[in-house]
């Protein structure tokens, strides 16, 4: 634990150093608009005198993460167009400035600095990997700006400058475990990619299992992008676990599920619950490899709510009938509307007024009604377990009875006391 604390202390320091450099650069460039005021940290150069207001989108449009993040960019674009078509925010049209994070955390931090200081955007939307968020966090805090982050993540974080519209662990992982326990699962095998999200998630799962009489019969990690699963699948098969909890990321899923299927394991004899396979990923993993397997998210394209029907129809109309919508895309779409609602409640685009107004702001999102929790800047979400159907879409097989309050530090769970330290 000590090691990770010191690591955590190092990261902001490094990033702070970087911000100092960035701020220096900013003042050197010295755009005319900011010539009067100092471009130092904390002061906003937002200009709301015209008929439009600038917002920033920051997504990886190149590099390994482009596959996923470009879909988030698409749904943000859709939300911005819809908002503009219905009169904008506080009477002002949104002017989108898009930056490419290029799948590199340092690039995210640098581009975020540009969006805040040079472009003077009112708020920034995007980011996907935890490392990109962690790199941007000190930039947003030092400049007192706003970031809306739309992806499920490992929790244990709350910044007044970031609104988290994806699920935290108690809205995705813990409900998935509750579901497995309800189904009579006594033993689980954990398989994940070797980076921060799976490791943190599995720590939570271990604590949950210990407290609920579930046995963790194996815990295996492979390097990101690994395609060799013979040994792991042999171990899984030999463990005779009731279920597998899968936190593998990206292409590793293909190799894992193929090997899994080829030794005779399937959704009936050993179901796999995945937390990073959404509608968008199913064709890449191969439908016949994952059909019938389970997923844990808060949103599926098949949800039968009026808001979702409208969202899916609008998305397909704009980007093509073959496209699908997924949880992070929905969370991104929702985030722009939430910011709109916050600005309208505050009657202002100013960061401190929006922060003050955020608590209790609601939006009828495609996943259902979501409410902002002003204490930790997360939102309520409805966890759902889904089953991948023969069309590659995901059907809800279990849903939480009501939206779950966000609890990023898991303070309301007795068994999780030692995790947040």
Q: Select 40 or 223, whichever has its Cβ closest to other proteins.
A: 223
Answer whether 248's CB lies under 8 Å from 229's CB: no
Of the candidate spans 29-37, 144-152, 217-225, 304-312, the one that interacts with other proteins by CB under 8 A turns out to be 217-225
Least CB distance to other proteins at residue 301 (A):
17
What count of Cα atoms within 13 Å lies in the side-chain half-sphere of residue 140?
30
Q: Select 12 or 218, whichever has its Cβ closest to other proteins.
A: 218
Of the candidate spans 83-91, 220-228, 316-324, 354-362, the one that interacts with other proteins by CB under 8 A turns out to be 220-228
Of the candidate spans 14-22, 241-249, 282-290, 320-328, the one that interacts with other proteins by CB under 8 A turns out to be 282-290
Q: Select 137 or 191, whichever has its Cβ closest to other proteins.
A: 191
**Residue 219 interacts with other proteins (CB under 8 A)?**
yes
Q: Select 118 or 266, whichever has its Cβ closest to other proteins.
A: 266
Draw the binding track, 183-212, toward other proteins (x: CB under 8 A; -: no contact): -----------x------------------
Tokens of 79: 């939300």
* Number of residues binding to other proteins, judged by CB under 8 A: 38
Identify the residue among 37, 38, 231, 269 touching other proteins (CB under 8 A). 231
Of the candidate spans 12-20, 104-112, 138-146, 222-230, the one that interacts with other proteins by CB under 8 A turns out to be 222-230
Phi, then psi, of 197 in degrees rounded to 5: -65, -50
Taking residue 270's Cβ as centre, other Cβ atoms within 10 Å add up to 19
**Sequential DSSP letters for 45-73:** ----SSSEEEEEEEE--SSTTHHHHHHHH
**Residue 88 interacts with other proteins (CB under 8 A)?**
no
Identify the residue among 98, 206, 226, 348 touching other proteins (CB under 8 A). 226
Least CB distance to other proteins at residue 238 (A):
5
Task: Calculate the CA 100 to chain-centre distance.
Answer: 17
Identify the residue among 124, 255, 294, 410 touching other proteins (CB under 8 A). 255
| Nearest of 87, 107, 100, 95 to residue 46 by alpha carbon | 95
**Residue 262 interacts with other proteins (CB under 8 A)?**
yes
Identify the residue among 42, 50, 284, 292 touching other proteins (CB under 8 A). 284
Give the residues across from 80 on adjacent strands. none
Q: Give Cα separations from 391 to 111, 256, 270, 282 (angstroms).
A: 39, 21, 22, 10
Query: Where does 291-383 have alpha helices with state H?
Result: 306-319, 327-346, 351-358
Identify the residue among 215, 258, 316, 353 touching other proteins (CB under 8 A). 258
Identify the residue among 4, 227, 362, 411 touching other proteins (CB under 8 A). 227
Answer whether 319's CB lies under 8 Å from 306's CB: no
Sheet of 124-126: strands edge to edge? 93-100, 52-59, 124-126, 147-149, 162-164, 378-379, 368-373, 362-365
Q: Which of the residues 92 through 121 are near other proteins (CB under 8 A)?
A: none
Tokens of 397: 């097989």
Least CB distance to other proteins at residue 147 (A):
24
CA 243 – CA 267 distance, rounded (Å) = 9
Least CB distance to other proteins at residue 237 (A):
8
CA 363 – CA 311 distance, rounded (Å) = 13
**Residue 66 interacts with other proteins (CB under 8 A)?**
yes
Least CB distance to other proteins at residue 280 (A):
8
**Residue 323 interacts with other proteins (CB under 8 A)?**
no
**Residue 283 interacts with other proteins (CB under 8 A)?**
yes
Strands 384-388 and 294-297 come out as antiparallel
Answer whether 89's CB lies under 8 Å from 112's CB: no
Q: Give Cα separations from 110 to 16, 67, 102 (angstroms).
A: 12, 21, 11
Q: Select 48 or 226, whichever has its Cβ closest to other proteins.
A: 226
CA 265 – CA 77 distance, rounded (Å) = 41
Which DSSP symbol is given to 113? H
**Residue 395 interacts with other proteins (CB under 8 A)?**
no
Binding residues for other proteins, rule: CB under 8 A, are 64, 66-67, 70, 194, 219-223, 225-228, 230-232, 234-235, 237-238, 251-252, 254-255, 258-259, 261-264, 280, 283-288
């Amino acid at each position: 634990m000590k090691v990770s604390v010191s690591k955590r202390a190092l990261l902001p320091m490094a990033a702070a150093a970087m911000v100092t450099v960035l701020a220096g650069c900013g003042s050197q460039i010295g755009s005319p608009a900011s010539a009067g005021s100092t471009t130092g940290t904390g002061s906003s150069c937002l200009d709301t005198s015209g008929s439009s207001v600038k917002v920033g989108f920051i997504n990886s449009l190149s590099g390994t993460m482009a596959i996923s993040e470009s879909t988030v960019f698409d749904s943000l674009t859709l939300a911005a167009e819809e908002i503009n078509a219905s009169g904008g925010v506080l009477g002002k049209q949104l002017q989108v400035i898009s930056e490419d994070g290029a799948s590199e955390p340092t690039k995210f931090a640098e581009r975020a600095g540009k969006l805040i200081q040079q472009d003077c955007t009112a708020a920034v939307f995007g980011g996907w990997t935890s490392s990109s968020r962690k790199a941007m966090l000190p930039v947003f805090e030092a400049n007192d700006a706003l970031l809306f982050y739309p992806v499920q993540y490992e929790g244990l974080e709350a910044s007044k400058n970031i609104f988290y519209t994806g699920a935290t662990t108690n809205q995705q992982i813990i409900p998935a475990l509750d579901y497995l326990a309800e189904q009579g699962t006594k033993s689980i095998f954990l398989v994940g990619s070797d980076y921060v999200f799976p490791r943190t998630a599995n720590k939570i799962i271990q604590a949950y299992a210990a407290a609920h009489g579930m046995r963790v019969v194996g815990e295996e990690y492979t390097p990101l992008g690994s395609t060799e699963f013979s040994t792991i699948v042999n171990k899984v098969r030999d463990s005779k676990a009731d279920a597998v909890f899968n936190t593998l990321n990206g292409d590793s899923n293909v190799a894992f599920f193929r090997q899994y299927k080829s030794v005779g394991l399937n959704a009936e004899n050993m179901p796999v619950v995945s937390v990073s396979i959404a509608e968008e990923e199913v064709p890449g993993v191969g439908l016949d490899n994952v059909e019938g397997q389970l997923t844990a998210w808060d949103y599926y394209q098949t949800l039968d709510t009026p808001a979702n029907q409208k969202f899916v129809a609008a998305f397909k109309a704009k980007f093509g009938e073959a496209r699908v919508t997924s949880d992070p895309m929905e969370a991104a779409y929702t985030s722009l509307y939430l910011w709109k609602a916050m600005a309208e409640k505050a009657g202002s685009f100013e960061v401190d007024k929006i922060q003050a107004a955020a608590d209790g702001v609601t939006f009828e999102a495609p996943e259902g009604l979501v409410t902002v929790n002003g204490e930790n800047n997360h939102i309520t979400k409805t966890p759902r377990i889904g089953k991948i159907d023969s069309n590659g879409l995901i059907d809800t097989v279990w849903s939480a009875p009501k939206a779950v309050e966000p609890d990023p530090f898991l303070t309301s769970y007795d068994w999780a006391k030692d995790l947040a330290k």
